Structure 1
Amino acid sequence: MIKIHTALFVILMLISAVKVDNIQQNQGTLSQEFAQAPVKHQLSYIDKKDSQMVIPAFSEGRHQPKVKMLSTSTEKKPSEFKQKKKVKSETTSSNDKVRYSNEEIDLLSRLVHAEAKGESFAGKKAVASVVLNRVEHGSFPDSIRGVIYQRNAFQPVTDGSIHDKADQESIKAVKQVAKEHDRTTKAIYFYNPKTATDDWIRSRKIVERIGRHVFAV
């Protein structure tokens, strides 16, 4: 029995020696294969040291999405400090009427009375209209007094009849033209063709005739 056990033990030892030798041979072969094979594994960014890390740059040829930067600053832009200019609306309604003083109304009434004595109500309104048309015209003074007292403009100023008191019809005609803006004519000249001696005034374009007067521009 002892001889049989001894023989089995020897056989097992030989088998173990053969396996160990085969394992060592296989390990040597694997080491040579790994040494010859190309390295395909690269360390990840976590495995590498800081000096070994190379972060790939964005490609300039590719379109990169734009990132909108959100500002956390509470500072206001300079434009926000600028105050908006207050624009005052200066609109003039077409219904607004020019106001004339009582002195101007009285002066114009006396001129109408002197110039259109014996004329119809429309004729008196036309004379008053000529004076106000001149006030608004760029070639004449911009006030009733300035227009009436312009040199050699009206005969009543020269002969003094401008100082005569106006009758009620002349006052009414002036108020209707001045306050109600009811102009009878757009003319800026008028004259009596029977008594006028100035050739220049006769050369003006006639727009209408009322009574003894001719009205022109």
Structure 2
Amino acid sequence: MKSKFAAIAAFLICMLPAARIEHAQAVMLFSKKDKQEMERLLQSLDPEQHPSFSHLTDEKNFIETLPKQDVEEKEEKEDSPEITGEEKELLSRLVHAEAKGESFKGKVAVANVVLNRVGDGGFPDSIKSVIYQKNAFEPVLNGSINRKPDRESVEAVEVAVDHDKKETDALYFYNPDIATDGWIKTRKVVERIGNHVFAI
């Protein structure tokens, strides 16, 4: 009875979308009786309810098929670029215009603000849309965003798009010495880097 439950439990675990290869490999260790139970379970699957499993006739096919599909899906996601070269160029120009004279860390933090906005539901969902959102960034209004970025700004953007090296979770930044907008000063400050404060 226990072996029957073990076979059913292992099979159901392997059916989960996020199943790991180790689960499938564990099926190979079943006794002959467990394998017979697995075959009965596979045969009992309704092809209309589970079309993705309709071609599976035994545990060997199941083991060979599921991990391969899982790996292919992961590879497709990794191959699709999240940020294009054009977006990086635009972001580099913004960083150059907004953080000229600031430290490398400060430049990365400015780029992070744009990326954080893209991921936040209260802002547009692309780098270009965030940067060109009405009255969002001074360099767009005065045209300085059109200037070629320096090497450090380009490198700062490369670091910023690496999510493991995020400098800040802030959604706003400003220079408190020259900022005239009263509303921005009401935001909660989470960090200060150079002449900029970063807020949420």
With normalisation by structure 2, the TM-score equals 0.62
Which 10-residue stretch deviates more, 157-166 or 191-200? 191-200
Amino acid at match of 1:101: T
Amino acid at match of 1:85: P
Structure-2 separation of matches of 1:145 and 1:80: 48
Are residues 1:124 and 2:111 paired?
no
Partner of 1:167: 150
Amino acid at match of 1:146: S
Aligned with 1:158 (options 141, 144, 147): 141
Per the alignment, in what secondary structure is the counterpart of residue 198 of structure 2? strand
Aligned with 1:213 (options 190, 196, 200): 196
- C-alpha deviations, 1:79-120, integer Å up to 9, x for none? 876432328869879x96962111000000000000000000
- Higher-helix-fraction structure: 2
Partner of 2:28: none
Q: Which runs of 5+ in 2 are unaligned?
A: 1-43, 54-68
Structure-1 separation of matches of 2:179 and 2:135: 13
Structure-2 separation of matches of 1:111 and 1:211: 17
Aligned with 1:184 (options 160, 167, 177): 167
Aligned residue runs from structure 1 range 69-88, under 5 A:
82-83=47-48, 84-86=50-52
Structure-2 separation of matches of 1:215 and 1:81: 56
Amino acid at match of 2:149: A
Shift of 1:209: 0.2
Structure-2 separation of matches of 1:131 and 1:163: 17
Amino acid at match of 1:209: R
Structure-2 separation of matches of 1:191 and 1:92: 39
- C-alpha deviations, 1:19-64, integer Å up to 9, x for none? xxxxxxxxxxxxxxxxxxxxxxxxxxxxxxxxxxxxxxxxxxxxxx
Percent identity over the alignment is 56
- RMSD over equivalenced CA pairs, Å: 2.7
Are residues 1:141 and 2:124 paired?
yes
Cα contact 1:98–1:179 (8 A) shared by 2: no
Per the alignment, in what secondary structure is the counterpart of residue 208 of structure 1? strand
- C-alpha deviations, 1:97-146, integer Å up to 9, x for none? 96211100000000000000000000000000000000000000110000
Amino acid at match of 2:129: G
Q: Which runs of 5+ in 1 are unaligned?
A: 1-78
Partner of 1:11: none
Amino acid at match of 2:199: A
Per the alignment, in what secondary structure is the counterpart of residue 199 of structure 1? coil
